[in-house]
Amino acid sequence: MFRKILIANRGEIALRVIRACREMGIASVAVHSTADSDAMHVRMADEAICIGPAPAAQSYLSVPAIISACEITGAEAIHPGYGFLSENANFVQIVEDHGLTFIGPSSEHIRMMGDKITAKETMKALGVPCVPGSDGGVPDLDEARRIGAEIGYPVIVKATAGGGGRGMKLARSAAEIDVAFQTARAEARAAFGNPDVYIEKYLQRPRHIEIQVFGDGRGGAVHLGERDCSLQRRHQKVLEEAPSPAIDAATRARIGGICADAVARIGYAGAGTIEFLYEDGEFYFIEMNTRLQVEHPVTEAVFGVDLVREQIRVAAGEPLSLDQADLQPLGHAIEARINAERLPSFAPCPGRVNTFHAPGGLGVRMDSALYSGYVIPPYYDSLIAKLIVHGRDRDEAIARLHRALGELIVDGVDSTVPLFRALLDEPDIRRGDYSIHWLERWLARSEAQEG
């Protein structure tokens, strides 16, 4: 096992990894920018090292600074958290070239899934159900028109180097395919330096359901059910839950089995998430994320598993301590992502947090790096806390989230807390009856009403 791990991240996810290290008897090294000298992850780690100025490009994204920090502190492995360098295949290669261990999958698997056409071809060949569409890339307009006519409109043109909602263009009818194809290509070339696009049937009212998988890197893998992440705004998840209100045990076992089998067959190592659109009882693969996700705690709550501990174990060459037969979800978990943002615009609201008080009690977990007096810097994303509740069933989880939100105090900056109170009062949300479009439509309606 590793003696010392460097965490190449900040905020609540850095704390999450430090806590796992401490429970495993592993020393932790925090890295930070000059803007984060007073950040909680710096205080909580065993050691901390400054790696550069405030802009992430010169600190949390600086490969030489992070490699140097490992050499100076004697850290043997790097946990990337999410975002920043977590899905950067070149970084993983450099880490390995320096005799260090990246806590995550191989650079080959990251590269494979980072190219969305390759990811889809790979998954399709492994028996994972995919959205109908082009076989691979679409090289020219004639081919785009032919595919549109073949699969039927609406279709969506997606950049192979995109993902997470970046680089997509909708064509509602044949009249729109030329513009959609040409703009998608031009934008993909400008944004990613790669113009390649593919085409899919556009699903009108799906849910976003993702399967948590875990590979041991030796051909073994398990799944830990699904998360429903349909409540999003501008491709940013707002609230996630496990299990999905739309999925039963038999469906979970079937799609979970397909996903675990797929990652086992490619020899995948570590945590991964296979994203699907789910409509009319069918799953359609869209992307695979090769990192630990922000919303992993809802899975941890219902499966009673420490996913970061498993990541570290697998990276150190130890076997998974998970057995598929023992993995049964218990109860229901919901995560509210609390951002320092002003409603209704969602404009970032950095600044001094005068008072911070975290809720507690049975079934409540607060993952946050806030403290009273902390000054939220303007340079990074606006997530300030994840409030995760667990109940025996969905109704209990909802009541618990309501109760916990009432105990939470974040004073001095605006936050998205009021959004969750309003959401939990909505009959559609209480029933679990929502698609990927529900939140944006509801926000548009609320704004119109308030004038």
Could you give the residue numbers annotated as active site? 291
CA distance linking residue 438 with residue 232, whole number of Å: 8
Nearest to 293 by CA among 277, 311, 278: 311
Q: Kindly tell me which residue out of 16, 79, 120, 208 binds ligand MV4, with binding defined by CB under 6 A.
A: 208
Closest contact distance (angstroms) between CB of 141 and ligand MV4 is 20
Q: Which is nearer to ligand MV4, 356 or 434 (CB)?
A: 434
- Determine how many CB atoms are found less than 10 A away from the CB of residue 135: 11
Site for ligand MV4 in 81-120 (CB under 6 A): none
Q: Which stretch binds ligand MV4 (CB under 6 A): 57-65, 195-203, 263-271, 368-376?
A: 195-203
Q: Which stretch binds ligand MV4 (CB under 6 A): 49-57, 171-179, 202-210, 312-320?
A: 202-210
Site for ligand MV4 in 266-325 (CB under 6 A): 277, 286-287
- Residues that bind ligand MV4 (rule: CB under 6 A) add up to a total of 15
Site for ligand MV4 in 138-177 (CB under 6 A): 156, 164-165
202 binds ligand MV4 (CB under 6 A): yes
Tokens of 11: 């905020």
CA distance linking residue 437 with residue 296, whole number of Å: 22
CA distance linking residue 88 with residue 166, whole number of Å: 17
Tokens of 407: 């105990």
In 53-161, where does DSSP find H-type helix?
Answer: 63-73, 89-97, 107-114, 116-125, 141-151
Q: Which is nearer to ligand MV4, 181 or 202 (CB)?
A: 202
Strand partners, 357: 409
Q: How far is CA 175 from CA 146, 148, 171, 237, in A?
A: 13, 10, 8, 32
Closest contact distance (angstroms) between CB of 359 and ligand MV4 is 28
131 binds ligand MV4 (CB under 6 A): yes
Q: Which is nearer to ligand MV4, 145 or 201 (CB)?
A: 201
Q: Which is nearer to ligand MV4, 275 or 341 (CB)?
A: 275
Q: Answer positive or negative: Cα dihedral of 246, 248, 254, 257.
A: positive
Tokens of 293: 């996700």
Closest contact distance (angstroms) between CB of 275 and ligand MV4 is 6
Q: Which stretches of the chain bind ligand MV4, using CB under 6 A?
A: 131, 156, 164-165, 200-203, 208, 232, 235, 277, 286-287, 436
